Chains A and B, each alone.
Chain A
Amino acid sequence: MTRIKREIYEKEISACSLFGAMNRNKERFTGEGVISAIANMHVRGNGLGGGFAIYGLYPKYKDCYAFHIMFERRNKDAKKETDAFLSMNFDLVYDEEIPHGDAKVVNPPLVWRYFVIPKKRREEENFSDDDYVVQKVMHINTKIEDAYVFSSGKDMGVFKGVGYPEDVAEYFFLDKYKGYIWTAHGRFPTNTQGWWGGAHPFSILDWTVVHNGEISSYGTNRRYLEMHGYYCTLHTDAEVMTYAVDLLMRRQHLPMSLVARIFAPPFWELIDRMDENERKLLTELRMVYAPMLINGPFAVIIAHHDEMIGLTDRIRLRPLIAGVRGEMFYLSLEEAAIRLLSQKLDKVWTPNGGEPVIVRINR
């Protein structure tokens, strides 16, 4: 039997700026405000990563999965291989290079968008469309060299790259797009090499995560996710967070309110004083999902269609501020960035550590 070698990997450590804005009436708005808000937190990043997730982005193709795929070093072979793979597994409705200009970004790859509909073979008919897409995305990410899927949801998309977020926005002309949820991220990795795929948001299907923090439970979380078939190939904390959200919310159908209590559970001394039903639920939750406790400092904004969630770690080692003005809802690491968009706010508050802020579309 051959010996299985221990893995030696470099874990990426980074700090960041986060911003999220949502119109609860699902009215789409342009990116100028969000771009200026994230730019206002310029010093929280160091120009080695910026990105945006936009929901309500492609109403014209809202029934298609929108793939944003980057080809590193503008590798033509990777593009060819990906095109072949996509046309074998999907019906291609439309595709084009994502328009871009000139901006202060580093080594831009080729970024292409595809609007596709799953073309399942007989043996794959049992898969739901979502599971089918996840499987194909994992294939592209792990099997096709130099190809990496930024995002794969419907009517949404992720734009990211190496540079300050405002430069990435300029590069992709993001001020021209409209959406009803925007999340944004500026990155401060401690290592020097930035890779476009390593920038935030991280995304699978229509789930996106922008994250600030260093997870001290990374080893425990990663090894638990491996048991469920998620392999953390990027070695970033945000990747762990993204897969955890996918596992708990999409695959196990847990509501966000409980997922927040798995990531950032109340302390035992609090649980022990709760009434019986709640105590029982939280005890079992902590017992079963102990390996999914996200320990160490983090602030995160998770989004999918119709919902945006903000959460910090349970002892609140990272900041997070929430603000409301009319139908607009904001989440930010700094209040100043919110005030920049809306001088007057109906309500602004600092959620407690581990207490999720969940914003939903008005029905």
Chain B
Amino acid sequence: MKSYLLPEFIIERNEERCIRCRVCERQCAFGVHYYDEELDKMFSDEEKCVSCQRCVVFCPTNALVVRPNPSQYKLNYSWNREKISDLIKQAETGGVILTGSGNDKPYRIYFDHLVLNASQVTNPSIDPLREPMELRTFLGCKPDALALKINSETEFIPNVMIETPIIFSALSYGAISYQAFNSLAIAASKYGTLFNTGEGGLPKELRKKYGRNAIVQCASGRFGVDPEYLNCAAVVEIKIGQGAKPGIGGHLPGEKVSYSIAATRMIPEGTDAISPAPQHDIYSIEDLSTLIYTLKEATNYEKPISVKIAAVHNSAAIASGMVRAGADIIALDGLRGGTGAAPKIIRDNVGIPIELAIASVDKRLREEGIRNRCSILAAGGIRCSADVVKAIALGADAVYIGTAALVAMGCTLCQKCYTGKCNWGICTQDPYLAKRINPEIASRRLLNLLRAWSLEIKEMIGGMGINAIESLRGNRDHLRGVGLHEWELDVLGVKGAGE
């Protein structure tokens, strides 16, 4: 069938600059570039291009430009180019359209409508270059009060300490390459924070070295869950949902399930790894409680148990139930959270923005007097250190970063994660592509990211006259809304700028 799709991108090659080194050809797993020996010329198959920009970056003579194809259908706000293209794809294939990474639709990004405070006159701002500035954070349930009994072991619910309120989000081995997974583990352990294994297990050889910096997931497929896996970790997380695909399970196709992935996930090599949409032993809140306490039993009550949900309409009520069910950490994944593969229609239409979810969950837990009994982790759409500060001021204890970590390693958000052909070596199991990530270098990029954001956070809170991150938590007085409706200010619990 002749495809009616317009090529999404055009590739401009400056022939004067091109030296026919064929780097572009070797770098592109999608097979866009090819060399014609007779003509001694490079050509490109533009329909295949995903605009990952790998060839552009690696072209030694800067001979390439990849940009959106300017051809367009007649302007129509309802039937825009994306709607028409998606419909053509479905008419030609009869399938569900897949995509990767997070929601790219222009839903309001509340972070960009919140501004921060700074001290002037009545309260001195604090200079982080001269004064201590503390970002240390504890994740887990805190008792209502400290019982001070001399010589008695106060029964203390375990907490995990992190040196900066930034954690790497769930990125499973299988979805991402071993090298990328390893890089996250190295960076987290060097900085004193955590990485999340996702639902693909934790390779045995990494457990001893990086287990204490790992949040291990127990998801609906129960891949890779064994007693050692649970007990080597800092936190065990029950994954109920994901911001990119609330209500949807996962599917790692058999061709990606190599020997090592099969061993880690404890499934036969080459079989599809299917995560059901719900956890089939959790059909209600009391079932969740059973699993939470099963995991607590399995880990001797030594680790906080996290429960991750996608931010949806009733998150506040659900979160309150989760805390009462025994969750020590509530992880909320918002509308813009990423994925390795999801139906596009789900990614783009299901869930609520994380900012609103943080605010409403934090408020509900406070109203019920149980906010201290859990930590809130916010995920989905954290792009810079200011987003971290705003998320914490709205009520989060710390944030998960997934997409931001991938971008630090090279990802350019081409959204083709589901193809397994990631040219940046991140979201692929092809050994030729995966070796493009050198864990030593990629972990340095991640460490730099953590360091840079932490420094910026210190600058921002110092400006507010705060020298410990805990004094920012839920401190919405330091936020003001710009360009928001009254109901949005109500939900966020912030004043408008100038109020």
Contacts and interface: CB of A to CB of B under 8 A. Distances in A.
Contacts of A107: none
Interface residues of A, number: 42
B148 A254 contact: yes
A295 B465 contact: yes
Contacts of A289: 146
B317 to A, nearest CB: 12
B272 to A, nearest CB: 44
24 contacts: A3-B487, A6-B495, A8-B495, A214-B123, A216-B123, A217-B466, A218-B477, A219-B476, A220-B472, A220-B474, A226-B366, A227-B369, A267-B134, A269-B132, A285-B146, A287-B159, A288-B143, A290-B138, A291-B372, A293-B468, A295-B465, A296-B465, A297-B124, A297-B465
Contacts, number: 111
A214 B119 CA distance: 10
Given A219-B477, A220-B470, A297-B123, A284 B134 contact: no
Contacts of A254: 146, 148
Contact of A223 (B468, B472, B474, B492): B474
A198 B465 CA distance: 24
Given A8-B495, A289-B146, 5 more contacts: A216-B471, A220-B472, A226-B366, A288-B145, A297-B123
B422 interface: no
Interface residues of B, number: 45
Interface string A261-295: 00001011100000000000000111111110101
Interface in B479-499: 487, 489-490, 492-495, 499
A217 B471 contact: yes
Contacts of A223: 366, 474-475
B124 A317 contact: yes
A302 to B, nearest CB: 19
Contact of B475 (A5, A214, A217, A285): A217
A interface majority secondary structure: loop
A268 B475 CA distance: 22
Contacts of B126: 315
Interface in A216-254: 216-220, 223, 226-228, 252, 254
A13 interface: yes
Contacts of B251: none
Given A6-B495, A219-B474, A295 B366 contact: no
Given A6-B493, A296-B466, A288 B142 contact: yes
A135 interface: no
A289 B131 CA distance: 22
A11 interface: yes
A295 B146 contact: no
B451 to A, nearest CB: 17
A133 B489 CA distance: 38
A295 B159 contact: no
Nearest to A217: B471
A7 B493 CA distance: 8
A265 B214 CA distance: 29
B371 interface: yes
A295 to B, nearest CB: 4
Nearest to B362: A223
A296 B495 CA distance: 21
Interface in A280-338: 284-291, 293, 295-297, 314-315, 317
Given A5-B490, A219-B477, A252-B145, A227 B366 contact: yes
